Amino acid sequence: MSYKEQQTLDREKIAKSFGLASQSYDVSARLQRFSGKHLMPWLPKQNDLTVLDLGAGTGFFTDLLASSYTQVIGLDFSKDMLSFAQATRDKSIHWIEADAHKIPLQDNSIDFIYSNLVIQWCEPLDVAINEMLRVLKPGGLIIFTTLMDGTLHELKSSWKQVDDDQHVIDFKTEEELAQLFNHDGARVIEHKCQDIVLEYQNVIHLARELKGLGANHLPQKRNRGLSGKDKWFAMIKHYQDFLEPSGIYPATYRLYSGLVVKVNS
């Protein structure tokens, strides 16, 4: 199998994973709610704009965008997510089932792109960024959040003491994101980095929420079966090193919020 074919297969698996999570996604998406609302101050005040919600998911924020802007397009590669969104969101929204690596929109047709916790799933990311810039009008904006290296470090550290397999996705560093977005065609005009710590009753609670977010696709994982019971309990024991005095299990999400402008060409 070629590298390109493997990437296509990986994206199809991610889409299926998110699709299976569509009915429970809005219940377990605490982080998405926080990060999405965190972007609201950056949204343009002008209302007569064409907006693309890239990776719209269940359409929670697409719906909010539709209350403020003339034309809103929700794009996602999960058929089940889109079906849920179409049935529950503003009927004026135009929905597209597509991949961020091949956006079926015309060049220079979008005023701004809103993308909340999506691009960490895009591989290769530079192809997705080039597609975003292609459909943006000159001077258009990309307003986005993503997860950075350091996310879920408690879980990653706990598994590392059990085996050398991949159990947590590898996220980009702040420097890598800067290199990808700062070039001749684009410029980061503002960004923020912050740690969001969510609390869990136990490690199973954390694992279920990650699964509910569709965040369980690991392309580098060697052992495709379920982790053995002994390994699982060993990991939980190591995770207790991070246990808070109240008995709560913390999980850190390193959030990157970015405001990018397409440079006039």
Helix (H) or strand (E) holding 203: helix 203-212
State how far Cα 220 lies from the chain centre: 18
pLDDT at 25: 47
Which residues are within 8 A (CB) of 23 and not within 5 positions of it... i.e. 6 or more apart?
A: 84
Q: pLDDT tens digits for 84-130? A: 999 999 999 999 999 999 999 999 999 999 999 999 989 899 999 99
Residue 69 near residue 47 (C-beta atoms within 8 A): yes
pLDDT value of position 2: 59
Tokens of 81: 């997510």
Q: Which residues contact 11 (CB under 8 A, 6 or more apart)?
A: 77, 99, 101, 123
Residue-level pLDDT at 217: 54
Give the tens place of pLDDT for each residue, 140-174.
999 999 999 999 999 999 999 999 998 888 899 99
Q: Is the dihedral of CA 2, 156, 148, 175 positive or negative?
A: negative
What local confidence, expressed as pLDDT, does residue 26 receive? 45
Checking if the pLDDT of 33 tops 80, the result is yes
Q: What angle, rounded to 10 degrees, do the helices at 229-239 and 153-160 form?
A: 130
3-state class (DSSP) for residue 177: helix
Domains, the chain: 3-262 (3.40.50.150)
pLDDT for the residue 42 = 97
Give the model confidence (pLDDT) of 48-82 as tens digits: 999 999 999 999 999 999 999 999 999 999 999 99
Sheet order of strands, 50-54 included:
94-97, 71-76, 50-54, 110-116, 136-147, 249-262, 186-200
Of 205 and 191, the structure prediction assigns the larger pLDDT to: 191
> Is residue 249 within 8 Å of 205, Cβ to Cβ?
yes
Q: Which residues does 9 contact at the CB level (< 8 Å), separation at least 6? A: 1
- In this prediction the pTM is 0.86
* pLDDT tens readout for residues 176-190: 999 999 999 999 999
Of 34-38, 186-190, 239-243, minimum mean pLDDT range: 34-38
pLDDT of residue 18: 47
Does the structure show a pLDDT above 50 at 23? Answer: no
pLDDT at residue 22 above 60? Answer: no
Task: Give the per-residue pLDDT at 243.
Answer: 96
